[in-house]
Structure 1
Amino acid sequence: MTVPAEEGAAPIATAPRSRLVAYLTRTSKGGYAVETREARNGRVHWRSQPWSPPSPPDGTAEGWTVPGLAVLTDRGREYVTAYAYGERRPGDPSVAVVSYRADASGRAVAPTTAADVPVTGAPESINADGTALVVRMEGTTASVAVATGTVHIYKGSERECTACADRMVAVVPKGPVLTSSANGYEVAGAWSSAQVTPPEYKTRLAELEGITADYLIGSWRAPADFDEARWVVHDAESGKALAAVTCSVPGNGTRRQLYTPHTSANGRYLVAGPVAFDLGHARGVCLDGGNDGDPVEFTAVDDDGLAFGTSAPQQGSDEPGRPVQVPLETGKPKTLVAGTLVPVAMVDGRGVFAAPAGEQDVRLTAYPRF
């Protein structure tokens, strides 16, 4: 099937517990529908009612033409969540959010919750990597609880979280996740990077790299030193360090957009950017381009610890990036044949692949691990 895309990004998400692949399709009347398929056999599991999100106003920057899609987990239950920025009426912009239970059934499924977040213009960012959708605007941040549809807008005057307006980037079960270059990262009211950093790293800068509902990934590095950072996976509830590896920070600190981590369905393996972790053995793999190799950005990992990604050529090289697979037991990348697609996700033993299909679409397929 084909899925709408913008600049190569397509609204595709996976629900590993429900063993489903979710995506948006266009309807005949110009709207969208959420559809899910069983990863093992490709059968349609459920399809939503048509959804008509607000339309981006003229002059909106690229990146908002196609709605986003994510699967968020709240209290053990998966929700397929679609979101879009635009205007339903001129001069009245908002971010529309609809959520569906992943274990739904039927061919005209109504959203479990629906919400509109008022905004003054295109958001600075929308993050769906925790247990709630977070919309960041200048001086204000809003969270949308996917299970209830409750919208909480932080303006800086809230007693329970005065820093949420400027520093919140996600929500996990214990509370809002905050980050800043001066204060590191924390789960408000639960723990902070300053509290869990070992003594030998106390003088280093703590920076947030990625978030899931269960884990926070951070890096600790010396000021102005981007080659010797210590990447750490924290338990989101307690802050306990579960695994760590030394790896450089890509872009010499100029990239501050969070990575979207990918976990194996069994929860043992986790990949984000140039690092991969085996949480069962509390160890990590770094593929940052050291030792004369090309840096790798991971995209997926399966239950056996076989990770996939794309290598990026060293600066100044004319060579294109190449697809790779990496057994995390050895950490040694194997370059695949040029043009090989690497999975964007793994679910129920299948790799999910997205291949270009024209200028504005991608073709979605799933195959057993090769």
Structure 2
Amino acid sequence: MRLTRVLAGLLAAGMLTACGGGDGGDDGKGGGILGGPSGGGGGAPEAQLKVPALYDTSRGWESDLRGTQHPLPHSGAVGVYTGEPRQFTVLDVTSGDTLWTSAKLRSAGEDMRYESLSATAGGKDYLVLWGTGTTEGDVVSKGSEITTIDIFDAEGSGEGVKPARHVELEGEGFVSDGGGGLMVKQQDGDVYVTVDLATGATEEYDLYEVEPPASECNLCGVLSEIQGVTAGGPLLWNEGLGSDTALWVPDGWTGAEIDADARPYPSLILEDVLVARWRAKGATHVTWGALDSATGEIRAEVQCEPDGGLGGFDAEDEPALSANGRYLVRGNVVFDLEQGGGHCFEETDTDKPVEFDGVTDTGLAFGVAPDTRVVVDIATGKVEASKHLEVPFADYAGHGLFWDEENSSMVVYPHAS
């Protein structure tokens, strides 16, 4: 059964609930602020993690609210989704104060599996709860397979906030953040649906029917995959041989426009930025580029040593984009999207590799070398050894957000003055 739109629009009453899916699941008890607010001169958080010198551990706050943390960088907040009660709680990142809580969401059926995620599109943050499974039947009717999506605007206030948009799609699917919108892949099918976060509008794409770039991809169609969502439509990728390798946005741009011989390989899409890599004809180095995903325009590029193959998307990458959208790290590469350049820290005959896992608005990137942790100034490429053990899972509004594994709590430290 294909995924087709049943309903998209404003939701009059809350529905859905989460059950399992790794999104936390407490008993509804406990959870709250444990340390004083950094902005109000409160005391140091009880947890004293070994963090980069950028952060002041004598100030900040911490919370033992159990669930899944979702950074909301453009809103200056962090959302927490709890499995029980089934709701979002949104906290101010500078103080830990609760900004708003969602309504407790109920299930569309007993056999539904739920997941939460956060996404950013058009400079706005959203919280999303999606579920898939089978609805309850009645005496004479079987339940139906559906995928449901509830979208919350990250900036809200009050208690019991209901989803701004609710979408239901026929069939079981998997929902993910496609960069410029949500992407739904039907289980055991070749149909994708994209969902506009701002409006809830949906578009369906059947890979049997999507036209490949003219004269570029003879065997695309069902051999292709939708790798992400751009402001201009879905980003499609076909990893074939020679001329049957293609990257394109329908009625938009193609990878051949970047390099007709090299055929760029996509590596990840994050908000409106696509990272791709290619080796120009006759070149001894691999080019890594950060592209505008909607237009294909190269925003930054850097030359790196060959890594033994180009490959496609890398599931184990820990990419990070600074909240201001200027700096991006991915694997061994760092980009400055404003200056149009970057640096490679791959392993060579003379250099050790550095793997990056975080970046700040000021261009400080956190990485791991074989023998130590390091901090890199992207503007200069300068590398310094660091004794930190923990890196923030997000950094914005002058604060770093950390997860304290030992105490199962979120700890937030401000930048040092």
**What TM-score results when the alignment is normalised by the length of structure 1?**
0.77
1:247–1:44 distance in 2 versus 1, CA, 3 Å: farther
| Secondary structure of 1:17's aligned partner | helix
Render the CA deviation track for 1:111-158: whole Å, top value 9, x for unaligned: 0112233335x64xx430422111223312121222222333322355
Q: Which residue is equivalent to 1:367?
A: 413
1:179–1:47 distance in 2 versus 1, CA, 3 Å: same
Cα drift, residue 248 of structure 1: 5.5
| In 2, Cα distance between equivalents of 1:50 and 1:164 | 42
Q: Percent identity?
A: 26
Higher relative contact order (CA 8 A, sep 6+): 2
| In 2, Cα distance between equivalents of 1:70 and 1:249 | 34
1:298–1:5 distance in 2 versus 1, CA, 3 Å: farther
| Secondary structure of 2:256's aligned partner | helix
Q: Which of the two has higher C-alpha Rg?
A: 2
- Does residue 1:13 correspond to 2:70, yes or no? yes
Cα drift, residue 348 of structure 1: 0.6
Q: Is the 8 A contact 2:278 2:310 kept in 1?
A: no
Please, which of 184, 204, 210 is the counterpart of residue 153 of structure 1?
A: 204
1:11–1:205 distance in 2 versus 1, CA, 3 Å: farther
| In 2, Cα distance between equivalents of 1:205 and 1:55 | 45
Q: Is the 8 A contact 1:308 1:343 kept in 2?
A: no
1:245–1:54 distance in 2 versus 1, CA, 3 Å: farther
Please, which of 124, 132, 135 is the counterpart of residue 181 of structure 2?
A: 132
Q: Is the 8 A contact 1:264 1:303 kept in 2?
A: yes
| Secondary structure of 2:264's aligned partner | strand
1:231–1:156 distance in 2 versus 1, CA, 3 Å: same
1:369–1:132 distance in 2 versus 1, CA, 3 Å: same
Render the CA deviation track for 1:3-59: whole Å, top value 9, x for unaligned: 9459xxx7433222211112212324xxx211211111111111111124568969x
Aligned length: 334
What is the root-mean-square deviation of aligned Cα atoms in Å?
A: 3.4
Please, which of 251, 268, 276 is the counterpart of residue 218 of structure 1?
A: 276
Tell me which protein shows more strand as a share of its residues: 1
- AA aligned opposite 1:40: T
Please, which of 205, 218, 235 is the counterpart of residue 292 of structure 2?
A: 235
| In 1, Cα distance between equivalents of 2:306 and 2:77 | 33
1:146–1:251 distance in 2 versus 1, CA, 3 Å: farther
| In 2, Cα distance between equivalents of 1:42 and 1:115 | 31
1:56–1:352 distance in 2 versus 1, CA, 3 Å: farther
1:344–1:135 distance in 2 versus 1, CA, 3 Å: same
| Residue segments in structure 2 that go unaligned for 5+ positions in a row | 1-21, 26-66, 137-141, 214-219
Q: Which residue is equivalent to 2:98?
A: 44
**Deviating more after overlay: 35-44 vs 325-334:** 325-334
- Does residue 1:118 correspond to 2:170, yes or no? yes
Cα drift, residue 84 of structure 1: 3.6
- AA aligned opposite 1:102: A
Cα drift, residue 294 of structure 1: 4.6
Q: Is the 8 A contact 1:289 1:295 kept in 2?
A: yes
- Does residue 1:181 correspond to 2:239, yes or no? yes
Q: Is the 8 A contact 2:286 2:304 kept in 1?
A: yes
Q: Which residue is equivalent to 2:121?
A: 73
- AA aligned opposite 2:386: L
| In 1, Cα distance between equivalents of 2:171 and 2:247 | 26
1:354–1:140 distance in 2 versus 1, CA, 3 Å: same
| Secondary structure of 1:194's aligned partner | helix
Q: Is the 8 A contact 1:79 1:146 kept in 2?
A: yes
- Does residue 1:95 correspond to 2:128, yes or no? no
Render the CA deviation track for 1:302-325: whole Å, top value 9, x for unaligned: 1210012444x5xxxxx7xx5432
**What TM-score results when the alignment is normalised by the length of structure 2?**
0.69
Q: Is the 8 A contact 2:72 2:118 kept in 1?
A: no
1:251–1:118 distance in 2 versus 1, CA, 3 Å: farther
